[in-house]
Amino acid sequence: MWTEPENDPRTEDHPVGELATYRGYLTNYRLTLAMKCEELSPEQLATRSVPPSTMSLLGLIRHMAYVEQTWFQRALQGNLDEPRPFWSATNRDIEWDEAVGTPECVEEAITSWEREIGRADAYLDALSESDLGAEVVYHHDGATATVRGIVVHMIEEYARHCGHADLLRECIDGRVGQ
């Protein structure tokens, strides 16, 4: 077992309401990704998966900082002019390619990810159940989605990447579970 149930920061409570349910799942997946990165050196966090993939746990953290900012700040709140973390117009894989095993790179990634989670949570704190059905234009081509759809997409994004994190961590030190 990864951690004893009494020490597990994730909750298995029974939230009341749609928004509370979404937030519970999102929080638990964020915590799961953080747990998969615990107690590893910068070099281990930057360990690549199977060639030619550049995926690593550190890359996942950088990617999720980018994803959090893209969906919660840019798409949902229209903050299109602020700098995007770990993004380059000339290198679409920068969050993976530049995830190197240095303490500075790890600190930058975790700080950015935690900052974006905090900003996303502040946005979610201000939502009500009725806001979930609101439609937003999330792309320059006029594409739209509901707030609900974007929040569910974020849950899906974390779920997929937590599966990757399980396999990456097992390859690094054999640790499995939860």
Q: What is the pLDDT of residues 24-67, one digit of tens each?
A: 999 999 999 999 999 999 999 999 988 888 999 999 999 999 99
Angstrom CA distances, 83 to 60, 86, 88, 167, stand at: 19, 9, 10, 31
The answer to the question of residue 15 being in a domain is no
The pLDDT score that the predictor gives to residue 136 is: 93
The pLDDT score that the predictor gives to residue 81 is: 87
Closest by CA to 75, choosing from 141, 136, 148, 132, is 136
Chain-wide mean pLDDT for the chain? 92
The HSE-up count of residue 155 (CA atoms within 13 Å, CB side) is 16
The answer to the question of residue 162 being in a domain is yes
- Domain range for residue 97? 26-173
User: Confidence band (pLDDT; 50, 70, 90) for 129?
Assistant: very high
The answer to the question of residue 103 being in a domain is yes
The answer to the question of residue 38 being in a domain is yes
- Residue matched to tokens 């910068």: 42
Could you read off the pLDDT of 60-112 as tens digits, one per residue?
999 999 999 999 999 999 998 889 999 988 888 888 989 999 999 999 999 99
The answer to the question of residue 100 being in a domain is yes
The answer to the question of residue 54 being in a domain is yes
Number of domains in the chain: 1
The answer to the question of residue 151 being in a domain is yes
Q: What is the CATH number of the domain that holds 121?
A: 1.20.120.450
Is the model's pTM score more than 0.75? yes
Please give the torsion angle defined by the CA atoms of residues 91, 92, 95 and 99, in that order, rounded to the nearest 10 degrees: -40
The answer to the question of residue 1 being in a domain is no
Q: Which amino acid is at 101?
A: G
Closest by CA to 62, choosing from 79, 39, 43, 46, is 46
